[in-house]
């Protein structure tokens, strides 16, 4: 095996790919990505990668199906070019919300996508803040699961301070909220919600004391910002002072940005795991150093556990 690592980027997030390579001190591997007139994806690796340790960086964010298919085709090209090991670096794993059968006759698409990735030839996955941690078990290959909390907590402490109540916008996010509350040495609260549709959320009640306090809403991802803005509106009615929010993945569309702009949320902290994490009130934090460190450790067969630590 040639011990040199190679980083190949798809078209989903070229800015993040370049930042990762800059941190690693290696140039991105030359690759041709094109689309035929009928919509089919074409990939050609323009460098020798025989025997190399290859890392393919491609968040499966919108357009999700296009980015996922491009990833699978890149993997096949790399495998047929005789790479020694293929690690898929997925800062954001699409389809993660379809992780169980919550109604009759529906697929478990997260498991299907995991199967597709393994079948394509991926040997290892590096990802961050899966919507449900048990998705790691959907893969029959090693998965390194990073957390954005160290990056988010550091930035929030610098900008907001420690005087916070950390709030989960729904009961499903209690574990993540507890981790942030522990980092800030702050109390917790929960907003009970009812999902009306894929884009509409009704906040019902607040469990915990928020009156006269600064509030930090935390969630793994936001897309239409329905959950966050509904929770913020209810918290404001319950007397919360300044309302902030933090998410690992800001998969924001136009509707989400508009809702945020018109909401009581002062600032939304999000990582650059996806290119959609921008807009009014959005502060984007760089995770390229975190991913670069993880790539270096995986390449050198070192532990990535220390990357989970939240340092002051």
Task: Name the token pair of 67.
Answer: 């980015």
Tokens 């290892």 belong to residue:
124
> Among 156, 157, 25, 10, which residue's Cα sits nearest to residue 91?
10
Q: Strands, DSSP E only, in 58-137? A: 85-90, 124-128
d(CA 141, CA 138): 9
Contact call for residues 67 and 11 (beta carbons, < 8 A) = yes
63 prior amide bond cis, ω within 30 = yes
Q: How far is CA 163 from the centre of its chain?
A: 27
Q: Is 193 a catalytic residue?
A: yes
In the chain, the largest separation of any two C-alpha atoms, in whole Å, equals: 62
Catalytically annotated residue among 185, 193, 237, 241: 193
Residue 168 has phi, psi (to 5 degrees) of -90, 125
Catalytic residue positions, numbered = 193
């Amino acid at each position: 095996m040639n011990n040199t690592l190679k980083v190949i980027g798809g078209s989903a997030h070229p800015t993040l790919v370049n930042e990762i390579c800059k941190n690693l001190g290696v140039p991105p591997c030359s690759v041709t990505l094109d689309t035929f007139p009928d919509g089919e994806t074409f990939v050609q690796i323009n460098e020798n990668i025989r025997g190399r340790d290859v890392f393919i960086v491609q968040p499966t964010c919108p357009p999700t199906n296009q980015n996922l298919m491009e990833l699978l085709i890149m993997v096949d090209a790399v495998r047929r070019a005789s790479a020694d090991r293929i690690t898929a670096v997925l800062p954001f794993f699409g389809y993660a919300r379809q992780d169980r059968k919550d109604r009759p006759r529906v697929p478990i698409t997260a498991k299907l996508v995991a199967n597709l990735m393994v079948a394509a030839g991926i040997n290892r996955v590096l990802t961050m803040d899966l919507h449900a941690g048990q998705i790691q078990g959907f893969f029959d290959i090693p998965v390194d699961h990073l957390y954005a909390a160290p990056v988010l907590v550091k930035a929030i402490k610098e900008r907001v301070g420690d005087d916070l109540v950390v709030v989960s916008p729904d009961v499903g996010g209690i574990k993540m909220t507890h981790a942030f509350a522990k980092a800030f040495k702050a109390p917790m609260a929960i907003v009970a919600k009812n999902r009306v549709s894929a884009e509409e959320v009704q906040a019902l009640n607040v469990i915990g004391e928020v009156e006269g306090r600064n509030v930090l809403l935390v969630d793994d991802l936001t897309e239409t910002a329905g959950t966050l803005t509904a929770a913020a509106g209810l918290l404001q009615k319950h007397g919360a002072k300044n309302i902030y929010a933090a998410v690992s993945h800001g998969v924001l569309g136009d509707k989400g940005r508009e809702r945020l702009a018109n909401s009581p949320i002062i600032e939304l902290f999000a990582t650059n795991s996806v290119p959609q994490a921008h807009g009014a009130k959005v502060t984007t934090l760089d995770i390229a150093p975190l991913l670069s460190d993880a790539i270096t450790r995986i390449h050198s067969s070192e532990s990535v556990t220390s990357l989970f630590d939240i340092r002051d």
